[in-house]
């Protein structure tokens, strides 16, 4: 990402083509009740006027995927990272037993765009990359003109890291509890009732104790994903990195032990400063 691109995005917004994401449709009279038992947020609040962000968790409360949900007629539409298409589909199918629910993979039927900034088109309000925007779902084969610059995958990744937005499978993965990635306020509802993994996550909420916590950092030195983060001893791992388009510094996201979140850290002798 160039400095000019960054400044333009910050001032005017941008569009991203998310059509490669996995997309599922849930139909049937039990669709809301069923999905509410699978995800961390309250699906009863899903509507056609806004998206609902949630995590799918396993029995131990760790993340099996993150999804955006909205109502579409007599159905619910979900989208997730493209790598989750097969495992998330299998995970959701596994718990449909006697429910009046049908899960259909509609990835190939829909294109999905997200736009934020001054010239947003009509769409479904959604916050995906640190700014309020809209999702635009259109049938495959139709034309969409966003009216603003379209970001490449590389530029979007830089913007995501600068906005401190965690992503599957970098910060969000089978080792991560949603609160560790700072998703408690955004993706969780503690009053909605039971769901898979709910007991463990409620305990974290009550005690405030969790193994790790996500940090955002910057440093003048190049850093590689997977490098250990130190604070007298190894306390975590670098999960995502990018180059700041204005300063040229390395910016990134990492996961560190909960007791090591304060102050600065080091990676291979270089100081990491909190952003």
Q: What is the pLDDT along the chain (275 residues), one digit of tens a residue?
A: 999 999 999 999 999 999 999 999 999 999 999 999 999 999 999 999 999 999 999 999 999 999 999 999 999 999 999 999 999 999 999 999 999 999 999 999 999 999 999 889 999 999 999 999 999 999 999 999 998 999 999 999 999 999 999 999 999 999 999 999 999 999 999 999 999 999 999 999 999 999 999 999 999 999 999 999 999 999 999 999 999 999 999 999 999 999 999 889 999 889 999 99
| 79 contact partners, CB below 8 Å, separation of at least 6 | 18, 21, 22, 23, 24, 67, 68, 112
Closest to 108 in 3D by CA, of 141, 133, 134, 130:
141
Instruction: Please check whether residues 155 and 234 belong to one and the same domain.
Output: no
Q: Could you tell me if 150 and 216 lie in one domain? A: no
Whole domain around residue 100: which residue ranges?
3-162
Query: What is the predicted pLDDT for the residue at 269?
Result: 86
The DSSP element (H or E) to which 218 belongs, if any, is strand 212-219
Is residue 215 domain-shared with residue 128, that is, in the same domain?
A: no
pTM score of the predicted model? 0.96
Residues 144 and 218 in one domain: no
187 occurs within a structural domain: no
Nearest to 80 by CA among 167, 21, 166, 20: 21
Domain count, the chain: 2
């Amino acid at each position: 990402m160039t400095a000019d691109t960054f400044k333009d995005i910050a001032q005017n917004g941008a569009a991203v083509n998310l059509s490669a994401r996995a997309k599922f449709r849930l139909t049937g009279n039990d669709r809301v009740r069923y999905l509410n038992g699978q995800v961390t947020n309250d699906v009863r609040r899903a509507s056609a006027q806004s998206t609902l962000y949630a995590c799918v968790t396993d029995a131990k409360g760790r993340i099996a995927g993150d999804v955006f949900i909205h109502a579409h007629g007599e159905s619910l539409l979900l989208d997730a990272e493209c790598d989750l298409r097969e495992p998330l589909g299998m995970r959701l199918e596994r718990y449909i037993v006697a429910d009046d629910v049908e899960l259909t993979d509609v990835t190939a039927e829909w294109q999905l765009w997200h736009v934020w900034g001054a010239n947003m088109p009509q769409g479904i309000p959604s916050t995906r990359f640190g700014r309020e925007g809209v999702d635009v779902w259109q049938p495959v084969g139709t034309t969409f003109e966003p009216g603003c610059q379209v970001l490449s995958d590389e530029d979007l990744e830089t913007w995501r890291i600068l906005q401190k937005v965690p992503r599957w499978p970098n910060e969000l993965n089978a080792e991560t509890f949603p609160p560790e990635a700072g998703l408690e306020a955004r993706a969780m509802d503690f009053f909605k009732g039971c769901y898979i993994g709910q007991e463990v996550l409620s305990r974290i909420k009550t005690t405030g104790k969790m193994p790790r916590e996500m940090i955002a950092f910057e440093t003048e030195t190049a850093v590689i994903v997977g490098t250990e983060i130190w604070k007298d001893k190894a306390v975590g791992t670098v999960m995502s990195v990018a180059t700041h388009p204005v300063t040229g510094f390395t910016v990134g996201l990492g996961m560190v032990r909960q007791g090591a979140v304060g102050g600065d850290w080091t990676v291979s002798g270089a100081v990491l400063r909190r952003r």
